[in-house]
Amino acid sequence: TQLLEQSPQFLSIQEGENLTVYCNSSSVFSSLQWYRQEPGEGPVLLVTVVTGGEVKKLKRLTFQFGDARKDSSLHITAAQPGDTGLYLCAGESSSASKIIFGSGTRLSIRP
């Protein structure tokens, strides 16, 4: 069973601070995605990374895929209250066309 562990589980920081969320597994993934989910809604895709060592930027968000394609990180610069939400990583294995979600990181940004 593939497991994706995210850390931290919860994070509450002040507006303007930086933060990093980690997504780790012992399994290799063909691709890894990051989603953000608001209460009562489905997750919305932020980014997909497919190449080991790949770095993608989305405004103040920076995503990195580990060299071995087993882990990933999400870094947010100058966090804003609008960044509040549940952040989920999800991995897709090369042997099965399905994605498995990480344990989630609940982020709260205080004004």
The answer to whether residue 43 forms part of the interface with another protein (CB under 8 A) is yes
CB of 48 to another protein, least distance (A): 6
The verdict on 88 binding another protein (CB under 8 A) reads: yes
Q: Does 12 bind another protein (CB under 8 A)?
A: no
Distance of closest approach, residue 98 Cβ to another protein, in angstroms: 6
Number of residues in contact with another protein, rule: CB under 8 A? 21
For residue 44, state whether it binds another protein (rule: CB under 8 A).
yes
How many Cα neighbours within 13 Å face the side chain of 99? 15
3 is a site residue for another protein (CB under 8 A): no
* Beta-sheet pairing, 71-76 with 85-92: unpaired
Site residues (vs another protein, CB under 8 A) = 1, 33, 35, 40-45, 48, 88, 90, 97-104, 106
